[in-house]
Amino acid sequence: MRKKNVRLASLTENKLAAIRRDAVTLCRALLRLLNMPQVFALRTALELQGIEVPQLPRSLRKCRLMLVVDTPKKRHWMLGRKWVCWSGPCEVVDLGEGIQCTNPVCTWAMFSSWLDLGELVQLGDALMRRNPRLRKVSMADFHEYLRKWERYVSECRSAGSARRTFRGIAKCRRALRLMCPGTDSMPETMTRLTLQRYGVERAVVNWVVRGADGHIIAILDNAYVGAKTDVEYNGNYHKNQPIQDAKRTGNLKAAGWEVVTITKEDLANTKSQYNMALRVVELLNTRDPKYSYTVRKKPLTLWEVSDARRTRWKTERPSNL
């Protein structure tokens, strides 16, 4: 698992680096055209910082250059460019050569007006990757940025200004309850969220399985520890390395673990997602008779899953470890 993740991370890094170089070229050209300082945002900010871009709404898909201003009067109208207004705490990163962009957490908050809750969670997870070279922030950074906005609004109101928080702040708070540090891919996050929507409790991310001599056998994507079961998303990369995956699965089985493999077809539609959740739960109940796992026929929305009153959503069940 460790070697596989190193190679997979390397492929991801190379792809993101190529996208970053392309974004830098586009930004340089625009800066020369405008001949004035600009701050890039949203998709452009992600690409400039080597961060995965989530599924974008149609209104943003064809636009590669996105910028931010603090007042609508500063926006320009240019084909293929988008200026957004962000009149509040705007944290900026200087990348050199005159290129500036919003930092990862500020960019995540800006996206809350365009992305649905699931996509916002996927982006948040992407900022906290297990690979240190892809990890940009920690959970504490997200919380601190939202607190900064709350202080800013409070100070403005104390001064007599009718200032409000940004439109997506409630969605950001919900996303924080669902986000998880240390993941490897957006489909992995989607798998975890889908199972939660169907009533399967939250898995443990990055559970380490060790051999009798203490060496690491595998680091699991979504582990149900009491049932000794790992739910793993299998992307196109895995299809090209059957020997390595077979060896890893064999080592896990020797250690008493089972692996449920999930593919993009399992996440394609509601029927496939339900069948996937049913398959996972049937195995969990077989391997963990002390606990009754169930599947909801009607999935919860992620807004319902993230409701703080739903105390059943836990990172792990200590009684079963």
Q: What is the maximal distance between C-alpha atoms in the chain?
A: 68
Whether 130 and 214 share a structural domain: no
The pLDDT value recorded for residue 9 is 54
Where does a domain end: 150, 178, 206? 178
Summary mean pLDDT of the chain = 89
| 263: alpha, beta or left? (left if phi > 0; alpha if psi -120 to 50) | beta
Whether 162 and 222 share a structural domain: no
Whether 55 and 173 share a structural domain: yes
Whether 166 and 204 share a structural domain: no
Whether 6 and 74 share a structural domain: yes
The pLDDT value recorded for residue 70 is 85
Whether 277 and 308 share a structural domain: yes
Whether 204 and 160 share a structural domain: no
The pLDDT value recorded for residue 91 is 97
The pLDDT value recorded for residue 302 is 97
The pLDDT value recorded for residue 61 is 87
Whether 102 and 32 share a structural domain: yes
Instruction: Quote the Cα angle for 111-112-113, to 5°.
Output: 90
The pLDDT value recorded for residue 319 is 36
Summarize pLDDT for 237-281 with one digit per residue, the tens: 445 565 566 788 888 999 999 999 999 999 999 999 999 999 999
Where does a domain end: 178, 210, 228? 178
Whether 164 and 222 share a structural domain: no
The pLDDT value recorded for residue 6 is 44
Residue 219 CA to residue 210 CA, distance in Å, equals 9
Residue 127 CA to residue 45 CA, distance in Å, equals 12
Where does a domain end: 178, 208, 228? 178
The pLDDT value recorded for residue 236 is 57
Neighbours of 143 (CB within 10 A): 14
Range of the domain at 272: 186-320
Summarize pLDDT for 54-84 with one digit per residue, the tens: 999 988 888 999 999 988 877 777 767 889 9
Whether 102 and 198 share a structural domain: no
The pLDDT value recorded for residue 270 is 96
Whether 12 and 107 share a structural domain: yes
Neighbours of 17 (CB within 10 A): 11
CA atoms within 13 A on the CB side of 318: 0
Whether 168 and 204 share a structural domain: no
Q: Could you tell me the CA-to-CA distances from 229 to 80, 271, 280, 287 in Å, in that order?
A: 47, 23, 9, 8
The model carries a pTM of: 0.89
Which residues in the chain show pLDDT less than 70?
Answer: 1-11, 79, 236-245, 309-321
Number of domains the chain contains: 2
Contact 203, 222 (CB under 8 A): yes
